[in-house]
Amino acid sequence: MGQKINPLGFRLGTTQGHHSLWFAQPKNYSKGLQEDQKIRDCIKNYVQKNMRISSGVEGIARIEIQKRIDLIQVIIYMGFPKLLVEGKPRRIEELQMNVQKELNYVNRKLNIAITRITKPYGHPNILAEFIAGQLRNRVSFRKAIKKAIELTEQADTKGIQVQIAGRIDGKEIARVEWIREGRVPLQTIRAKIDYCSYRVRTIYGVLGIKIWIFVDEE
């Protein structure tokens, strides 16, 4: 049977870069990894709490972390940074304080920057959040996927595949449904493919959403 590999890890070094850049000795590596996870979780939680809008889309495409000896640089790529920054210009400082408190840094400086993405719906994470919001509001999954695909086509991508697994529409038997639009060449390493998997908690149970977006070929 076809073995599925994570498209991002498969393309590392060709079309895909790492989301965390730092060096650690083998015995400290796991600590650094957990630290990264904590930073990402902390930022996501903060954004969820402080978003003005109730659509359920946080709009974080990815969080990149670069570590030096005395500085940790975090870049948040957001689709809608206005929603976070608007109304409170000190939001980013507050977020920095939060993360520093969470990880109790003493001798390392933390620096958080927010970068805006031009076409937010061309990113699988933001799209997955959009679909998740729809599914929580009990919209039928086909409608949600169709809408998501329409949004991606406006962000001029070459192809998209969306897969939802679990108790779809509250059915007793779990199943997997997927829809593909355009071309998604997963075997071609040159093809730049963006991917994410996302979990949604609904009333019936957990659903898994996977999204592959074919951006362009190099």
* Amino acid (one-letter) located at 160: I
Tell me: the pLDDT tens digits for 69-83?
Answer: 889 999 999 887 777
pLDDT on residue 210: 95
Q: Which residue do the tokens 């999204």 mark?
A: 211
Contact 132, 145 (CB under 8 A): no
Average pLDDT over residues 183-197: 92
Percent of the chain topping pLDDT 90: 47
Average pLDDT over residues 18-39: 93
Q: What is the DSSP letter of 108?
A: -
Q: Which CATH architecture fits 120-217?
A: 2-Layer Sandwich (3.30)
Whether residue 1 has pLDDT greater than 80: no
Q: How many CB atoms lie within 10 A of CB 165?
A: 16
The candidate with the shortest Cα–Cα distance to 85, out of 46, 121, 123, 56, is 46
- Give the model's confidence band at 163: pLDDT under 50 very low, under 70 low, under 90 confident, else very high: very high
Pairing state between β 60-67 and 20-21: parallel
pTM of the model as a whole: 0.86
Alpha-carbon gap, residue 77 to 66, rounded angstroms: 14
Domain boundaries, the chain: 17-116, 120-217
Using DSSP, state whether 173 is helix, strand or coil. coil
CATH topology of domain 17-116: GMP Synthetase; Chain A, domain 3 (3.30.300)
